[in-house]
Chain A
């Protein structure tokens, strides 16, 4: 019996290599559609052609090995900030405990100072008195940083839909919402691992859009070119599109 294997082409077309970049753009478009946005205006990449398309894809999709390596390292070494608010904090402590051991994945280094942390696990209900403080702590964290909203109270309003609480989405960007009241430690672990997958696959993850932080990209020297340029690595120059002392690009 003869078995013929054929790779499936995109959209059922003629068998061929599935271009991950095109697939990625289609994925982004689909997500945009799901969010109720119009393809035309909201996602300009829908009608990009040629070199513009190439450039857009390079900007928005990770391709280089260096980026992949950096993303792998970042995703496997989250430093969560010790931030327990209410009942979910007890279940968050449970993931540090022995049964659901978060140290297996490398995340056991809970840092007390937000300056040293890169993952904020918001565990518990955020009251209106606490919201500005949470925001301040999130601002003190250095890029790249991620936030997990653990539990129903900070994701939506949870059990208490009243005057005293604020859902975390209202004042800070959240990457993963973990439902539950309180979520089991295994559920929180699932959420953290989902975040890890997100960071591994696509480190950019739109946090520049979330922050409206265009123009603050790190500018690295062209490693093959003019190596003699002084101060070519300028990190996070806020608001500056062009850098005067960079030797070329």
Chain B
């Protein structure tokens, strides 16, 4: 894990490298850094995600271990996407996070450069409703394709059925259609 100072240096380099590229989205990519329980996290602007991941890949973090979503409801912006990167040579992990608003959550897909993100981005779309622009095949992966709603959001009800006992059991089903 890059220690706290290493993390700050990394963030500074990312901010600095941004100006050198032409045509890059403006603004500083890194919003804040967080060092928690021995692991470094970079909170970045969603527009810069592909660039930041490419930069980190250049620095050795070449393995995308996990891509998952979080719902920070009721804080805004409520949806978050977390990218866990791993440097296998130095056995180093760094986390990249971004926050998106609940309505119209869109971010660039990193699947072209990181093929491992394919199914994982589909899962984030299915569970949270984050649209990944440029994803080759963004459909629901775990829920049925015509399902409405995004189950993992905090305001989606857990659901469930009352347990069937003899007293509340309805007429037995089974008539063939």
Contact = CB atoms under 8 A, between A and B. Distances in A.
A and B touch in the complex (CB under 8 A): yes
Interface of A: 34-36, 128-129, 139, 156-157, 161-167, 169-173, 207, 209-213
User: Mostly helix, strand, loop or mixed at chain A's interface?
Assistant: loop
Interface in B124-161: 143-144, 151, 156-161
Interface string B55-98: 00000000000000000000000000000000000000000000
Contact of A163 (B151, B164, B166, B176): B151
A68 B34 CA distance: 75
A157 B160 contact: yes
Given A36-B167, A157-B160, A170 B151 contact: no
Nearest to B140: A129
A163 B157 contact: yes
A164 B161 contact: no
A211 B172 CA distance: 9
Given A34-B166, A163-B151, A164-B151, A173 B173 contact: yes
Q: Which 7 A-B pairs have the closest CB atoms?
A: A163-B159, A173-B174, A161-B160, A210-B174, A212-B175, A156-B163, A129-B144
Classify the secondary structure of B's interface with A.
Answer: loop
Contacts of B158: 161-163
Contacts of A207: 174
A128 B144 contact: yes
Nearest to A128: B144
A171 B139 CA distance: 27
Nearest to B166: A35
B159 A162 contact: yes
A34 B175 CA distance: 24
A165 B161 CA distance: 9
Given A35-B166, A36-B167, A163 B172 contact: no
Contacts of B174: 172-173, 207, 210-212
A207 B175 CA distance: 10
Given A129-B143, A163-B159, 15 more contacts: A36-B166, A128-B143, A129-B144, A157-B160, A161-B158, A161-B160, A161-B161, A164-B159, A167-B164, A169-B164, A171-B173, A172-B173, A172-B174, A173-B172, A207-B174
